[in-house]
Chains A and B, each alone.
Chain A
Amino acid sequence: MLKYTIRRILSSLPVLFGVLVVTFTLARVIPGDPCKAMLGEKATQEVCDRFMEEKGLNDPIPQQFAAYLKDLARGDLGTSIRFRRPITQILVERLPTTIELGFAGLFLASLIGIPLGIISALRHNSPIDLATMVGANIGVSMPVFWLGLMLAYVFALVLKDTPLWLPPSGRLTAGVVSVPFYEVWGWVADGEEAPRLLQFIANHYIFNSFITGQWDVLKDAIRHLILPSVALATIPMAVIARMTRSSMLQVTNMDYVRTARAKGLRESAVVMRHAFRNALLPIVTIIGLQLGILFSGAILTETIFSLAGVGRSLFEAITARDFPIIQGFTVVIAIGYIIVNLIVDLSYGFLDPRIRLD
């Protein structure tokens, strides 16, 4: 198991290196003068020369790449040209937004998609099955940005002054503050800055308010997350429902399922323990593959619901030619990608004992 894990990590290194090369190259070939983009069109040649010199942008490209790799190895992602702040600090603030959104989206998609797929398979060719499949087809065809805007219109405007009203933007209502757990528990003295890791954890508002018992904040944060995560979850939900259905259809005709039924097991035990467990492998694979869709969706969802997450920041950085942010964020996302794929691969061994990983 350990051997396989190490081999698997090593085999993803070339891809990671490729990602670094592509990101670095893309960031360099994006047209436009970073100096003019950051300091404004009126920046004089002299000011620009000094700026380029300071940022190391005049060095030969291979030298810039080597310097970049060296910093990266030390965990230093550089400093944003636009915000003049360390990238890691910006990540500490913005990554939790995207993580919460992504988790909520995936949770919702699985929570609804898997049962719908199971029911469709069990009631094959019934009206429920037909409706689910029509719904799934519509779901995968849905433009995320359109769904997001229409949800905002319905829940923030049409249902205004009803209990169903939901906020259309931001993570918390203005005035509501999520007090970090390390302050609640007195880990960090007042006025002192907490370590970045603690800040990063505390910036997951839902998690933070849950463990510290700030129920009003928790409720507010969840209410703000509902619309974006529904918009984000639609396509993955449809994909998961389809995959669950076809995977379940395949196993329900197997001999061992018939045997389980024949020996008089309760239907729920047959479905969950004998059929679903064996149908799980392709479902887990497809859930893992949703990460790319989720992140692409996050760029759009964060734009629509005014969430300062990684997706929107990255989009803005690309249009503003903020190279360090483009590089830093992309690397973090690519690593996240590789980790998730690794987890999916490793989970096969647990789900199907026939698969030996070493």
Chain B
Amino acid sequence: MSTKPEPTSDVNIEITKHRSEGPWRIALRRLLRQRSGIAGMIILGFLLFAAIFAPVIAPYDPNEVLIGKEPVKKRAKPCIHLLGCPEDQPQHIMGIDGNVRDEFSRIIYGARISLRVGFLTIGFAIIVGTILGTIAGYAGGWVSNVIMRVLDVLLAFPFLLLAIAIVAVLGPGLINAMLAIAIINIPVYARVSRASVLAVKEDEYVTAARAIGASPTRIITQHILPNSIPPLIVLATLGIGTAILETAALSFLGLGAQPPDPEWGAMLASERNQVFSAPHLVFFPGLAIMLTVLGFNLLGDGLRDALDPRVRID
């Protein structure tokens, strides 16, 4: 992340050598030189691996109750053979939960839920937000005023409060919690896309496109939107982490994922009153949430620097 000045001659060589490289490859190359970007990609790589290969990695089914199948007790502490747990006992590296299920298997399967939550909520927010923001920016006038004032009202609420209220209307459940989090994230993306539209709307290439008779839809999709993609990618990456955190908070309050789903926030909530007797059942789900969010935040930071031509990376 340091910004040492490069000798100018090197820069020239770079440019001639990589003339054929597209902007995305340049961005990727810049990203790979970033500590935070790499750290984020490693964390998310593990997460993705866990989510895809959950049935292979997890030793048990996440909802399998082990009563009568193994000599384990409810909320038993972690038993790891390498760390001196007797070999004759079954290995449960994160212990046993309150319903006598293997905590590690549930955490692994939880990665699937969290990734789905992150991508779907932010995907929804981006699509709706970009459409609204682009319309507001391109149309201007009262259309813009109405759209942006309505979104201002959404921003005037503390996010969790609004999310709780929306879930209260829709009814508790993971899908509704995701919808609530998606809705409260719309204003951010609408503002950013509106700002990018405003920034390029009067540029010559847009005027030129208009002059040769391109339709507004074509101008927006071909000329304006591509410009707003880099800031949206950065925001979305950071947003996915936050969305996972917010959805987990809703699940923690009992409004999101419902038992027996192995969702990290819900797992933590169901054992929160046992934190003094079985801290591992609170510790591991929370750690999983934190690492996931951290991964997205680090990658987002790295992407921001990689996609911003003003930041020099060497």
A residues at B contact (CB < 8 Å):
14-16, 18-19, 22, 26, 29-31, 125, 137-138, 140-147, 149-150, 152-153, 156-157, 291-293, 295-296, 299-300, 303-304, 314-315, 318-319, 326, 330, 333-334, 337-338
Q: With contacts A143-B289, A149-B272, A300-B252 known, is A31 near B171, CB below 8 A?
A: yes
Give me 6 A-to-B residue pairs in the complex whose CB atoms sit less than 8 angstroms apart, sorted by A's number.
A30-B165, A31-B171, A143-B252, A145-B268, A292-B157, A292-B158
B158-196 CB mask vs A (1 if < 8 Å, else 0) is: 111100111011010000000000000000000000000
The A-contacting residues of B in range 121-163, CB under 8 angstroms, are: 149-150, 152-153, 156-161
The answer to whether A299 and B290 touch across the interface, beta carbons within 8 angstroms, is: no
| Candidates A18, A142, A299; contact of B156 at CB < 8 Å | A18
The answer to whether B297 and A146 touch across the interface, beta carbons within 8 angstroms, is: no
Give B292 Cβ to nearest chain A Cβ, in Å: 8
State A15–B145 Cα separation when bound (angstroms): 12
| Candidates B159, B168, B279, B290; contact of A143 at CB < 8 Å | B290
B206 at the interface (CB under 8 A from A): no
| Candidates A150, A291, A293, A315; contact of B253 at CB < 8 Å | A315
Inside 8 A of B294's CB, which chain A residues have their CB? 137-138, 141
B44 at the interface (CB under 8 A from A): no
The answer to whether A296 and B158 touch across the interface, beta carbons within 8 angstroms, is: yes
The A-contacting residues of B in range 1-50, CB under 8 angstroms, are: 1-2, 36
Give A133 Cβ to nearest chain B Cβ, in Å: 8
State A338–B294 Cα separation when bound (angstroms): 31
Inside 8 A of B158's CB, which chain A residues have their CB? 291-293, 295-296, 333, 337
| Candidates A141, A152, A338; contact of B245 at CB < 8 Å | A141
Give A171 Cβ to nearest chain B Cβ, in Å: 20
State A300–B152 Cα separation when bound (angstroms): 24
The answer to whether B153 and A153 touch across the interface, beta carbons within 8 angstroms, is: no
| Candidates B149, B249, B286; contact of A300 at CB < 8 Å | B249
| Candidates A16, A147, A292; contact of B159 at CB < 8 Å | A292
| Candidates B166, B171, B249, B275; contact of A152 at CB < 8 Å | B275
Nearest to B246 among chain A residues (CB) is A296
Inside 8 A of B36's CB, which chain A residues have their CB? 137
The answer to whether A295 and B275 touch across the interface, beta carbons within 8 angstroms, is: no
B residues at A contact (CB < 8 Å):
1-2, 36, 149-150, 152-153, 156-161, 164-166, 168-169, 171, 241, 245, 248-249, 252-253, 265, 268-269, 272, 275-276, 279, 282-283, 285-287, 289-291, 293-294, 297-298, 301
What is the number of contacts between chain A and chain B, taking CB atoms within 8 Å?
A: 129
Q: With contacts A149-B275, A338-B156 known, is A30 near B168, CB below 8 A?
A: yes
| Candidates B157, B159, B169, B286; contact of A149 at CB < 8 Å | B286
Inside 8 A of B275's CB, which chain A residues have their CB? 149-150, 152-153
Nearest to B171 among chain A residues (CB) is A31
Inside 8 A of B164's CB, which chain A residues have their CB? 299, 314-315, 318
Inside 8 A of B248's CB, which chain A residues have their CB? 143
Nearest to B154 among chain A residues (CB) is A22
Give A238 Cβ to nearest chain B Cβ, in Å: 10
Give B305 Cβ to nearest chain A Cβ, in Å: 12
The answer to whether B286 and A18 touch across the interface, beta carbons within 8 angstroms, is: no
Give B76 Cβ to nearest chain A Cβ, in Å: 18
Inside 8 A of B150's CB, which chain A residues have their CB? 18
| Candidates B168, B283, B285, B293; contact of A318 at CB < 8 Å | B168
The answer to whether B276 and A157 touch across the interface, beta carbons within 8 angstroms, is: yes
| Candidates A16, A293, A296, A318; contact of B165 at CB < 8 Å | A318
The answer to whether A142 and B283 touch across the interface, beta carbons within 8 angstroms, is: no
Give A289 Cβ to nearest chain B Cβ, in Å: 10
Inside 8 A of A15's CB, which chain B residues have their CB? 149, 152-153, 156
The 10 A-B pairs of least Cβ separation, nearest first, read: A146-B286, A296-B160, A18-B153, A141-B293, A295-B158, A141-B294, A292-B158, A318-B168, A26-B165, A145-B252
| Candidates B1, B2, B283; contact of A150 at CB < 8 Å | B283
The answer to whether B2 and A138 touch across the interface, beta carbons within 8 angstroms, is: no
State A102–B160 Cα separation when bound (angstroms): 16
Give A320 Cβ to nearest chain B Cβ, in Å: 10
The answer to whether B245 and A143 touch across the interface, beta carbons within 8 angstroms, is: yes
The answer to whether B297 and A137 touch across the interface, beta carbons within 8 angstroms, is: yes
Inside 8 A of A14's CB, which chain B residues have their CB? 149
Interface core residue of B158, B268, B293 (most chain A CB under 10 Å): B158
Give A103 Cβ to nearest chain B Cβ, in Å: 16
Nearest to B150 among chain A residues (CB) is A18
Q: With contacts A149-B272, A150-B286 known, is A141 near B149, CB below 8 A?
A: no
The answer to whether A146 and B289 touch across the interface, beta carbons within 8 angstroms, is: yes
Give me 13 other A-B pairs in contact (C-beta within 8 A), A141-B290, A144-B249, A292-B159 excluded: A22-B153, A26-B165, A29-B169, A31-B171, A137-B294, A141-B291, A143-B265, A149-B282, A299-B160, A300-B249, A304-B272, A318-B168, A337-B156
